[in-house]
Amino acid sequence: MNEIIDLDNIDLTKEPPLMEPDRQWYYIAKCRELVKAKSEELGRPLYASIITFGCQMNSRDSEKISGILKQIGYVETDTEDADFILYNTCTVRENANNRVYGRLGAQGRLKKDHPGMIIALCGCMMQEATAVEKIKTSYRFVDIIFGTHNIFKLAELLQTRFDSKRMVIDLWKNTDMIVENLPNDRQYSFKAGVNIMFGCNNFCSYCIVPYVRGRERSRNPQDILDEIKGLAKDGVVEIMLLGQNVNSYGKNLETPMSFAKLLSEIEKIDGIERVRFMTSHPKDLSDELIEVMKQSKKVCKHLHLPIQSGSSRLLQIMNRRYTKESYLELVEKIRAAVPDISLTTDIIVGFPGETEEDFLETMEVVRKVGYDSAFTFVYSKRTGTPAATMEGQVEETVAMERFDRLLKEVKANSVAAGKDEHTTQKILVEEVNEQNPGLLTGRLSNNLLVHFKGSESLIGTIVDVFLDESKGFYYMGSLI
Ligand code: 5AD
Ligand code: SF4
């Protein structure tokens, strides 16, 4: 993984190769020539800015995009008047789409003063036909549109745009292709996200992800292990394994392999100190995985286990394939095996047909489980999903009122908050504290943050910190 390709050795007088990733390396080299010429003409580097919306999958995709752009010769910036602007979009909830339209309007006005600017859009929202239609008619200044399945083709699409001067649109409905060995530009030197699978087969009735990210595809275990070994050599100590539903990893591989088995293989890699993963679907969480988490020294004591609703009636309509009772049993089993585990979750309020009784069941689960934190969402109607046409859409005021009550309940019932006060814990030092530059910020195995005094040189290392004081969802500590 990530072998270095010498771009100067690629013969651009030849036709582009047909096989990937060679074809893309060819286009990277070709775009690089153009960018170099343009930059010489302007007497300055060409700048690129990536704006990422949404989840960790998107952040990971943006790292890949950034890797390609850097190889092409762009210098990354975060200003919106760059030469190349890319919006990596999300569509899981309606307001994510609205934010993109808002930003695009302003971007179009900026482009008028920067005629050479190239604006590209990619990500989940681009997999929706209605969104793309709207962009084609109302945002005609956009130069390149691609989706979630063909990120690897960015250089080829850019070259097409350089050649054609027209809006370039390349959207794939689905794919079984996984292209390895392309450039990559990691956001952090000491921790990294690693895709283990793409897509989702679950079709929860409210969720648009299976439609925009396609069917489940697992990466080859050897590719994953090689990538992680490479990261460890580069000094990465913490890995976050990424997938919409990591617990069903490997089911469709030629030689099937369970997620638990993959985790135990990853654990053996020297240099990797911490392994996290997300997201786990409760219906697929196996005893084998619980056993690996119990035995492991490296798998973090944190499990993100989305419940979505505490009402078994709604869970069935949501097509989640577990009940409140089976979820609570699972929680008990996990807590019995890994007593100090921190549990977090996702909850939707205002799903069509949600009654006060259904909602009270969600509140009951929150009290029983004591999540350390919860991502809480007001249901958002996504056209094309089964829930969008269901009867009993909940009034916004009712949903908002439930949302507020839910937040309070989550806060009031957190188990881990404060639990480790006055103990010494290992933390991975991540950054200088944003609010107070005199402090460093690090993360406990259970994902809670700790702020403490220390030298910047500690960033990226795992240190012992005494947790002096709990502040609810974070700690103040001192370096040992
Ligand atoms: N409305 C609100 N929240 C949603 N999620 C997914 N689809 C929707 C929707 N239509 C939430 C779920 C999921 C998280 C990533 O986003 O809780 O777990
Ligand atoms: Fe959406 Fe359900 Fe798949 Fe998660 S498991 S991405 S909520 S369909």
pLDDT digits (tens, 9 = 90+) for 17-37: 999 999 999 999 999 999 999
Q: Taking a C-beta distance cutoff of 8 angstroms, is the pair 285, 247 a contact? A: yes
Query: What residue owns the CA closest to ligand 2's atom 5?
Result: 202
Q: What is the Å distance from ligand 2's center to 124 Cα?
A: 14
Query: What residue owns the CA closest to ligand 1's atom 18?
Result: 346
Q: How confident is the model at residue 1 (pLDDT cuts 50, 70, 90)?
A: very low
Query: What residue owns the CA closest to ligand 1's atom 7?
Result: 207
Q: Is the CB of 206 under 6 A from ligand 1?
A: yes
Q: What pLDDT, on a 0 to 100 scale, did the predictor assign at position 68?
A: 97
Residue 118, classed as helix, strand or coil, is: strand
Q: Is the CB of 281 under 6 A from ligand 2?
A: yes
Find, among 367, 469, 454, the residue nearest to 418 by Cα: 469
Q: Is the CB of 210 under 6 A from ligand 2?
A: yes
Exposed/middle/buried for residue 455 (C-beta within 10 Å: 0-12, 13-18, 19+): exposed
Which residue among 320, 346, 373, 393 is best mutated to probe the pocket of ligand 1, counting the most ligand atoms within 8 A of its Cβ?
346
Atom of ligand 2 at shortest range from CA of 203: 8
- For 317, the token pair is 């309509």
Atom of ligand 1 at shortest range from CA of 207: 7
Query: What residue owns the CA closest to ligand 1's atom 6?
Result: 207
Atom of ligand 1 at shortest range from CA of 346: 17
Question: 124-158 pLDDT, tens per residue?
Answer: 999 999 999 999 999 999 999 999 999 999 999 99
Q: What pLDDT, on a 0 to 100 scale, did the predictor assign at position 3?
A: 58
Q: How high does pLDDT run on average in the chain?
A: 95
Q: How far apart are CA 350 and CA 281, in angstroms?
A: 21
Q: How confident is the model at residue 479 (pLDDT cuts 50, 70, 90)?
A: very high
Q: What is the Å distance from ligand 2's center to 329 Cα?
A: 21
Tell me which DSSP letter residue 15 carries.
Answer: P
Q: What is the Å distance from ligand 1's center to 363 Cα?
A: 18
Q: Is the CB of 223 under 6 A from ligand 1?
A: no
Residue 343, classed as helix, strand or coil, is: strand
Question: 55-86 pLDDT, tens per residue?
Answer: 999 999 999 999 999 999 999 999 999 999 99
Q: Is the CB of 204 under 6 A from ligand 2?
A: yes
pLDDT over 70 (residue 408): yes
Q: How confident is the model at residue 183 (pLDDT cuts 50, 70, 90)?
A: confident
Residue with tokens 């399945």: 149
Find, among 403, 388, 389, 409, the residue nearest to 348 by Cα: 403
pLDDT over 80 (residue 2): no
Atom of ligand 1 at shortest range from CA of 380: 1
Nearest ligand to the CA of 200 is 2
Q: What is the Å distance from ligand 1's center to 209 Cα?
A: 9
Which residue among 202, 207, 211, 393 is best mutated to probe the pocket of ligand 1, counting the most ligand atoms within 8 A of its Cβ?
207
Q: In this prediction, what percent of the chain has a pLDDT beyond 70?
A: 99
Which residue among 58, 209, 278, 321 is best mutated to probe the pocket of ligand 2, counting the most ligand atoms within 8 A of its Cβ?
209
Atom of ligand 1 at shortest range from CA of 308: 17
Q: What is the Å distance from ligand 1's center to 92 Cα?
A: 6
Q: Is the CB of 93 under 6 A from ligand 1?
A: yes
Q: What is the mean pLDDT of residues 178-193?
A: 90
At residue 468, what is the residue type? Answer: D
Q: Is the CB of 117 under 6 A from ligand 2?
A: no
Q: How confident is the model at residue 199 (pLDDT cuts 50, 70, 90)?
A: very high
Scored b (16 or more CB within 10 A) or e, 151-185 reads: bbbbbbbbbebbeeeebbbbbeeebeebeebbbbb
Q: What is the mean pLDDT of residues 90-117?
A: 94
Atom of ligand 2 at shortest range from CA of 200: 3
Q: How far apart are CA 286 and CA 249, in angstroms?
A: 12
Q: What is the mean pLDDT of residues 99-121?
A: 95
Find, among 401, 320, 418, 416, the residue nearest to 363 by Cα: 401
Residue 380, classed as helix, strand or coil, is: coil
| CA angle 142–147–153, rounded 5-degree value | 90
Q: How far apart are CA 283 and CA 280, in angstroms?
A: 9
Q: What pLDDT, on a 0 to 100 scale, did the predictor assign at position 126?
A: 97
Which residue among 55, 58, 91, 92 is best mutated to probe the pocket of ligand 1, counting the most ligand atoms within 8 A of its Cβ?
92
Q: How confident is the model at residue 4 (pLDDT cuts 50, 70, 90)?
A: low
Nearest ligand to the CA of 209 is 2
